Structures are given as C-alpha cells and as structure tokens.
Amino acid sequence: MTYTGPVYRPPYEANSLLLQVTVGCAHNACTFCTMYRDTKFKVEPIDQIEQDLKEAARLYPNTKRVFLVNGDAFVLSARRLKPIAELIHKYLPFVEVISMYASVNNVKGKSDEELRELVKLGIRDLWVGVETGHAKTLQYLNKGFTLEEAEKQLKRLNDAGMPFYFGFMFGAAGSGLNQENAKATAKLINATNPAGVVPTTLGAFGDSPLAKEVEKGNFTPSTEIDVLDEQMKLIKLININTMYMGIHGLNTVAFDAQLPRDKEQVLTRIQNAKDNLNPSYLNSVPERHSV
Ligand code: SF4
C-alpha cells in the first residue's frame, strides 16, 4: 500500500483498510490544526489507487470496511469518488462501507443526486469535523463555513441517507465560554441528527496559529474542570438517539456510550472524575501536544 505524508484516521477505523486517495488536507487552514500543515495537498492518481487495491485484494481479501485517507478526502468530486468506489467493489467484493473525513464544504460541493449515488456505492459514515456549534468560535477556528451552512449541509446528508459522525472539541470556545459552547453545540447536534458524536478536547498544538494566539494572550484555554463541566452540560442537553464516541486520547474522561440510554451512568462517571482528580490538575490547563 502506498502512503504519502502523515496519515490520520479516527480511532474507530482501526480495523479498516486505509486507502490513500488524497495527500494532506485541501483546506489546511483551521486555526488549531497542525496535522497536515507542511504537506502539500494533492489527489492520488487512479492508477496508484488501483495498484493498492490489487495488493489489498491479495493481502486482505475479506475486507468489509475501507477508510479513504486523508484529511478531507470527501473533497473529491462525485465524478472522482464514483470510479474509486467501483474499483473498491471490483477488487474487494465484501466491502460494505467506504468512509472518510469530510468537511461541511465538501458536502456543499455535491448535488443531492450525487450524494444519493454515492450512498448506493457504499459511501457513508462520513467523519465531519464541525468542532463547535458556537457561531463566533466556528469563525475563529477558521473552519471555512458558517453555523447556518453546517446545519444545512448536515441535514442534506440526512436527506440523502448518508449517515455521518459529528466531530467536535470541548474547550473550543476558550475559557469562560464553556457552557455557551456546550449549549450551542448540543443544539446543532440535536438539529442535525448524527449517527454518532465524536468529541476531542482542544489543545494549542505546536506552532499552530491558535498556539500563537495563546502566547499573545488573545485566547485563554479552558481549565480541566471547565472542560469536564462543559462535557456534562453537553451530554445533559443532547436529546436525540445517538452514539457518544469519546475514546479519543485527548479526552480526560474517555468512554463510549449510547445516548440517551447511558446518560445518568456517564454523568456519574464524569462527576466521579471531578470529585477524585487532584484539584491542582483540575484547575490547570493540561498540555495537549497533538491530535
Ligand atoms: S482540522 Fe481537518 S479540515 Fe481543518 S486543517 Fe485540519 S485536517 Fe484540514
């Protein structure tokens, strides 16, 4: 298999075949993100993708799930994604799901009809990095879309029958805005009905623009106790049936749950962490080095 540049995947895709179709991230401008900062975006040639699939057919013939690498692979047009999906089914006939990272803008770039055609080809379970439902924070993080666009495009995925996972970050709005961020993000989640919600926790990574803002005193990161309170508030406010997929290593209290079924149980778990963790840790801003 050919892999160029850094490769990231959600923890939940650990057993998926990773097939590289793009290098880097086409947006590559989120304030907090350093993942592909030094990697030039490009689309992998279809011949290389086919060679990788031939190899996968030899090595992993029973593959059921493929994750298309890299940072926003759904940026590929439907015209490019369709032949890739067809080749996947040709060489790996047991594949049921083709998933990938996606931006709200990648959805915007496809018609309703194209989305439905992609669903028929097994493309679903998009990992959409929304990060927050707080309009000003969304702008500050430079995601490249507005709150209204996020709601509209995520609803289009629902209408097309393409399930998605809603990625977001505790602490995204910074100190003092944790409760507001939880309320706004829960509101967007409830309105857009994702199959799962996937939290991580904001860090001022490396030499990201956000880290520079923190250095200059323009952005104050949240303390751990504020992040845990934000987590509790958000879980309390989610009122749809959805998976809570929170095992990412950046989360202090990390768990999977089914909401609303497990709500009381997980709230108790976070409360226990608040009661038992060292107060100096809870009142600090733990360093988070990288996603
Ligand atoms: S967070 Fe996602 S969309 Fe934003 S720059 Fe990083 S990889 Fe690209």
For 147-201, the pLDDT digits (tens) are 999 999 999 999 999 999 999 999 999 999 999 999 999 999 999 999 999 999 9
Instruction: Look at ligand 1, atom 8, and give the residue with the nearest C-alpha.
Output: 28
Output the pTM of the full model: 0.97
Residues lower than pLDDT 70 in the chain: 289-291
Q: Looking at residue 287, what is its pLDDT?
A: 84
Strand duo 164-170 + 196-201: pairing: parallel
In a domain, 14, yes or no: yes
Q: What is the per-residue pLDDT for 116?
A: 98
Q: Quick one: 78 and 180 in the same domain? A: no
Residue 290: inside a domain: no
For residue 17 the two structure tokens come to 């075949």
**Helix 147-160 vs helix 178-192: angle between axes, to the nearest 10 degrees?**
30
Closest ligand 1 atom to 33 CA: 6
User: Residue 183 domain-assigned?
Assistant: yes
Residue 247 forms part of a structural domain: yes
- Residue 91 CA to ligand 1 center (angstroms) comes to 30
CB-CB neighbours of 177 under 10 Å: 20
| Residue 94 sits in the same domain as residue 163 | no
pLDDT score, position 229: 98
pLDDT at 30: 97
The CB density around residue 241, as the number of other CB atoms within 10 Å, is 11
Q: Which of 70, 99, 124 is the last residue of a domain?
A: 124
> Measured from the CA of 70, which atom of ligand 1 is nearest?
7
Same domain, 280 and 146: yes
Is residue 291 in a domain?
no
Same domain, 98 and 234: no
Question: Which of ligand 1's atoms lies nearest the C-alpha of 35?
Answer: 6
- Asked which of 124, 157, 192 is the last residue of a domain, the reply is 124
- Beta-carbon count within 10 A of 147 CB: 21
Same domain, 196 and 178: yes
Whether 200 is in a domain gets the answer yes
Q: Which of 8, 22, 23, 25 to mutate for ligand 1's pocket (most ligand atoms within 8 Å of CB)?
A: 25
Tell me: do 182 and 97 sit in the same domain: no
Same domain assignment for residues 138 and 210: yes
- Provide the number of structural domains found in the chain: 2
Residues 146 and 105 in one domain: no
Let me know whether 169 and 80 are in one domain: no
- Residue 21, domain member (yes or no): yes
Q: Which of 73, 101, 124 is the last residue of a domain?
A: 124
What is the model's pLDDT at position 290?
A: 66
Whether 167 and 116 map to the same domain: the answer is: no
Has residue 220 been placed in a domain?
yes
- How distant, in Å, are the alpha carbons of 51, 53, 68, 80, 288 from that of 46? 9, 10, 13, 9, 37
Residues with CB under 6 A from ligand 1: 25, 27-30, 33, 35-36, 71-72, 103, 129
Q: For residue 33, report the distance from its CA to the centre of ligand 1, in Å.
A: 6
Of 153, 129, 286, give the one whose Cα is nearest residue 222. 286
Q: What's the CATH code of the domain at 54?
A: 3.30.750.210
Tell which one of 34, 37, 72 to mutate to probe ligand 1, the residue whose CB is within 8 A of the most ligand atoms: 72
Query: In the prediction, which pLDDT does 252 show?
Result: 93
pLDDT in tens, 236-250: 999 999 999 999 999
Distances (CA, A) of 13 to 19, 150, 247, 271: 12, 24, 12, 29
- Give, for ligand 1, the residue of 22, 34, 36, 205 to mutate: max count of ligand atoms closer than 8 Å to Cβ: 36
Structural domain including 26 reads 1-124
Does residue 167 sit in the same domain as residue 49? no
Terminal CA-CA length for the chain: 24
Are residues 180 and 243 located together in one domain of the fold?
yes
Which residue shows structure tokens 């439905």? Answer: 116
